[in-house]
Structure 1
Amino acid sequence: MAKYSNVLVLCIDRDDDLGRKAGVQGPIVGKQKNLNSAAKLALADPEDSDVNSIFGAVKVFEEVKEQFKNVEVVTLTGHSKEGFKSDKIIMEQLDSVLENFPADAFVLVTDGAEDDQIIPLLQSRAPLISKELIIVKQAKEVEGTYYSIKEALKDPSIARIFFLIPGIVVILWGLLFFLGQERIFFQTMSLVVGAYMILKGTGLEDKIAAAATSVTKAISLQRVSFPLYLMTIMIFLIGIYTSYLAFISSPSPAVFIKAIEAVEQFINFTTIAGVSFVLGQSIDSVQLKKAFLLRRYFLSIVAIALVWFILDTGRRVLIGEPYAGIEFLTVNIVVSLAVALIAYRLSSVLDVRKKITKLMIGLPVYSREGQWIGKVEDIQKNKNLIEYRNIRTKQKITVTQDKFDLRGGRILIRA
């Protein structure tokens, strides 16, 4: 352990009890500030387990001081909505602490399994050399059981079974009762539940849920792309309504033709909605310094357009249009493959991973061991190099393009 010079004792309040209950904002740095914060939280809510965690962190801090020269204790606070937003806030607070106290090792003090989810993120900054678990003894089994149930219900696949199906049944009953059609409740419920089981069995459920989650998470008034995401939702809903109108207003008596016309409308609107969504993602990638994704989004737009083209060709063949036959379908598929190949070749222009651009400024820099060592502060495009300031030495370091890689929005130093 002697090889570590700066050790940081960390206490994590992932759901921000300190902020919500005691009005204390993180990061809380230093022994006395942590003791004062724990006292405020204890007065606000004596039963909160984070009180014990903070006192436990201070105790561990005193013990670790005997082993290492430079030791500090810090409590990081997240957000009441645990998950990505909470972890993002915690890591931002940790980075601000590391700028003043460049720790090369962490000691984590936690009150349960929930805080353990932050461990991989901590290890991206420095190694974790110890972990202390603080749980009130008589509550250990209760907390473990509660956490297991809570985490199980957070699993989207489980949550959809326990909440989505009953929710759909209740909504169907209320809607049909309101429309005076409650006599067809069981038929409608059978149709909906059957469709859900098909989606579940084929794996399409997860893909649809992932797409819906991507749209909802991306919606933010602070983003330039907000109008595009809003338009995506509106176009998709209009597409469903238009498909319904196309089905009931079709002059053809054949149900098959009615369905084809309805599907045509749905595919057209869904294609436009898909392009709108990907355009929003492209704008976000630039705004959030993830321009390395632009090539992927360009290819996604091309793929959406080609899928629409092939499906529309298949529709024409199915309804028996004069010029639409197997040969017509085969030629269009070959043309689509050729267009896809050309688009893939052209997309290399958008691959910013091979270029030095201003979009790199602000990206995190990691050593080859995987430790965070700073952020890009400047670029010199004519010399093909970037500049970053090391968080520990405070020195400005220059790296040429042949000595680093850009992966997943991170600068990885090769040597």
Structure 2
Amino acid sequence: MKVLVLAIDRDDDFGKKAGVEGPVIGKGKCIDAALKLSLADPEDSDANVVYAAVKLYDELKKSGEFEDVEVALITGHPDVGVKSDIELGRQLDIVLKKFPADGVIPVTDGAEDEQVFPILSSRLPIVSSKRVVVKQNETIETTYYVIYRYIKEILSDPEASRVFLGIPGLIFLLYGIGKLISLSYPQSMNIISNVVAGIILLFIGGYAFTRGFRIQVFRALTNEFIQLIFGVSGLLIITAGMVNAYVNIDTYAVQLMGYVPEPGPIKFILYIHSINTTVIIGIGVVLVGRIIQAYLRRNPHIWYNIAGILILPTFWIIIDVTTRYALGVVNFHSFGTILEILGAFVDVIFSVVASTFIRRYFISWASGGNSEVEETSEPVQGAESKA
């Protein structure tokens, strides 16, 4: 078996620094090339790759494990990538014409040069491989290559570039504008700094929120405008109710309990009770928007949202009764509480029954009245297949 010990210089340091043109074939010529590169740049590890290849060549010669052994050096191109790999393949073909090897042992100094292994294996089997480590050079070169590769991917991927370049770019841009404005109005530096910081946090928070919940803002503005308007309205109602309850919590406590409790679990439960109505109303507004949007789009799943509105009174009753019971205002034996619980049960039963009929109606409505045909088509097809 004839084996070729092959030193690889993918970025053509030999050509750039020492004027050595590849391929270089033979022990003596390889040593001369390594000496030239060592004199031109003593810190370049590619010279050590050639020395290691020559040493391996001598060892294999002495061992007599193979029928014949040869050592060679191939150099690529400074533009690492397609150009360098094409050049390496061309030089490898020249080497194989002069020494028709049956296998190859590539010698490299890091991850970048090892990217050409598929080129080698497409021409002849790789018997083994050797990586040359010069002090800390392996870690340094591998780390550099990984960082370079990911930076290149970030620049080429629009989504990644928006996150890793777009957001930091916006931050620097806003701070730059703020700094320029502060030169003309130094007394307003505090205000400018707070405004800039607020805009940055608002942008980053909004981006993270929309990406995390898969909310497509521009699509929602164009395709789901009605639902968006009702959703924002419901959110504003809930927010207003929460703020109002917080401001008037003491007044509400006196009306309901006759005294103002100390901050703690009791006051928190009282706060939950006080925002119950506005939260339910806000959710109802959101569901109304979804119903209108689904109706305009003739979406059969409109019945989900209708069922949600029908069941909302039950949630209101549950929160109202449990919070008032926790506050000691009512007990489960009072007539009013029993009526509320019965009302919740009636609402649940009514919601389930009504939702069943509503579901059938809207499925038929969305399909143009062909729901019965669709339901009976599957058994008929099954009977035909059995026959």
**Structure with the higher fraction of residues in helix conformation:** 2
TM-score, reference length from structure 1: 0.41
**Structure with the higher fraction of residues in strand conformation:** 1
TM-score, reference length from structure 2: 0.44
Asked which structure has the greater CA Rg, the reply is: 2
